[in-house]
Amino acid sequence: MLLLPFLTLWYFIFRSLRRQGQSLEKVSRGMILAPLLGIILNLLDASVETEYGTLNDVVDVFASMDCPDTVHCGFQYLLEYDWAGFLRGDAYLSKLGQLENFLSLLISRFESQQLERMRWGGEIDVDDDTCCICYTYKADAQFAPCSHRSCHGCITRHLLNCHRCFFCNATVLEVIKIGKESA
């Protein structure tokens, strides 16, 4: 529930920072990452406050995502970004400390969820064979050389506009059909 307004706000910030006709290379990463960091930390602060009796666990929201490695890498990138070159003063050091605590909470939640899955026999809620783009068809095609998978329809539609993988941005050399059974 918290994620959709969060992404909408990030999109609004990105669009407002980028002037009409300006290329993406001219937009500073710090101009995008600083508000993003502030939003995440404010959501974390709001999840701690229980003034109204409701608990909004932002750690649980991020931990429930299907891509724990991507989430971890994203937060690690925020931690390793050169904030000293972008921000003045030492105020950002306390914010980075908060983000580091948030990341450690997130990692521990990922690990506890993984242990819970293993304890219950490795049951996973998500069907790994479903296309993660349309969630309708079976992921029956694969990009080469990166091996990311999706349904053949989504991949061919994507290749009409761009010849790069929509997951890792690698140049697509070939699309391989998976599980093609001979009749």
Burial of 116 (C-beta count, 10 Å sphere; 0-12/13-18/19+): exposed
Contact between 52 and 79 (Cβ < 8 Å): no
Q: Is the pLDDT of residue 48 over 50?
A: yes
Separation of alpha carbons 169 and 160, rounded Å:
15
Q: Which residue in this structure is represented by tokens 């061919």?
A: 156
Q: What is the CATH number of domain 127-183?
A: 3.30.40.10
Burial of 74 (C-beta count, 10 Å sphere; 0-12/13-18/19+): middle
- Structure token digits, residue 165: 């993988």
Q: Give the model confidence (pLDDT) of 7-29 as tens digits.
A: 565 555 555 555 555 565 666 77
**Domains of the chain: which residue ranges?**
3-19+26-119, 127-183
Beta bridge partners of 144: 174
Query: For residue 182, what pLDDT is reported?
Result: 40
Query: For residue 183, what pLDDT is reported?
Result: 38
Q: Give the model confidence (pLDDT) of 79-92 as tens digits.
A: 888 777 766 667 77
To the question of pTM greater than 0.85 for the whole model, the response is no
- Structure token digits, residue 14: 């990105």
